[in-house]
Amino acid sequence: QSLLTQPPSASGTPGQRVTMSCSAGSSNFGTSWVFWYQQLPGAAPKLLIYRTDQRPSGVPDRFSGSKSGTSASLSISGLRSEDEADYYCATWSDSLRGPVFGGGTKLTVL
């Protein structure tokens, strides 16, 4: 069972803004950074957001990350068909001494 909980699915129409959540349950993200990965069908994951709200070079500013207390969020504005993918949140776990991933959210662009 993942320490990070994500809704299994989300959807939106082109041009819409979609927000996906990542919950740390009873734990608090505290000072831990949150990371987001995008996995297109048949491809390896790709780093989308690092250190909670930073975008790597080449990631459009349509993608944004935030966190508050026990929850983190990934928002996509101006939704496009090519955004249809699985999205995973991740953070460092001191107890496990390693990174942990959420179960992923499958985003469908209607």
Using CB under 8 A, list all residues that contact other proteins: 2, 33, 35, 37, 44-47, 50-51, 56, 88, 90-92, 96-104
State whether the Cα torsion 104-22-90-94 is positive or negative. Answer: negative
Query: Two tokens at 52?
Result: 């909670």
CA distance 79 to 98: 33
Supply the minimum distance, in Å, between the C-beta of residue 45 and other proteins. Answer: 6
Toward other proteins, which CB reaches closer, 67 or 88? 88
Q: Phi/psi at 59 (nearest 5 deg)?
A: -85, 125
Toward other proteins, which CB reaches closer, 8 or 14? 8
Supply the minimum distance, in Å, between the C-beta of residue 51 and other proteins. Answer: 7
Q: What is the CA radius of gyration of the chain?
A: 13
Supply the minimum distance, in Å, between the C-beta of residue 41 and other proteins. Answer: 13
